[in-house]
Amino acid sequence: MRYIFFCVFSFVIWLLWSGHYALHHPLILTMGMLSCGFVVYLVSRLDIVDEEGIPIHLARHMVLYIPWLAWAIFKANIDVAKRILSPRLPIAPRIVRVTGTQKTDLCRVIFANSITLTPGTVSLDLDEEEIVVHALTEEAADDVQSGDMDRRVTALER
């Protein structure tokens, strides 16, 4: 199943980057499909595709997580823009430690990257138990420590 997904995903990426969508070029489309299939064959022979390399088990949960993350990024962008444009709003940088409840390395990295993608916060260090985060404001630090993002990323593992 993983290799079929990898082949389809590779072909979709090839279509996007090549720009050959029309069926009046069947040779080009056929060669694109064959090249994607050949790459997947080579990858399977080299045994370099593992569960974390192509995490299709996360796909159904990502459908809910990505819109939530996009909304969180949008709200944080507005907050940071307000603080830049209005000098009266406080900026109080701080370093906080956040404990992640994820079991896999992949989800721990997704959690740390989600923190960094959200404006006003940056993941500085990631280890087995916690993430060191620099927050631009007290509110940003409180949002990270509230555990909402942690719970949503942990739900990806189920």
Residue range 132-144, pLDDT digits in tens = 999 999 999 999 9
Distance from C-alpha of 142 to C-alpha of 149, rounded to nearest angstrom: 12
- Other C-beta atoms closer than 10 Å to the C-beta of 12 total 11
pLDDT at 66 over 70: yes
pLDDT at 118: 94
Over 80: is that where the pLDDT of 48 sits? no
The amino acid that residue 34 corresponds to is: L
What secondary structure letter does DSSP report for 58?
A: G
pLDDT confidence band for 6 (50 / 70 / 90): confident
Q: What is the pLDDT of residue 22?
A: 74
For residues 20 and 32, the answer to whether their CB atoms sit within 8 Å is: yes
C-alpha neighbours within 13 Å on the C-beta side of residue 111? 33
Q: Which one is predicted more confidently, 121 or 61?
A: 121
pLDDT digits (tens, 9 = 90+) for 9-30: 889 888 889 887 777 778 888 8
Tell me whether strands 130-135 and 121-126 are parallel, antiparallel or unpaired: antiparallel
Give the pLDDT band of residue 55 (cuts 50, 70, 90). Answer: low
- pTM reported for the whole predicted model: 0.72
157 is written with which tokens? 């593992």
Q: Is the pLDDT of residue 33 over 80?
A: yes
Round the average pLDDT of the chain to a whole number and report it. 88
Give pLDDT, residue 146: 94
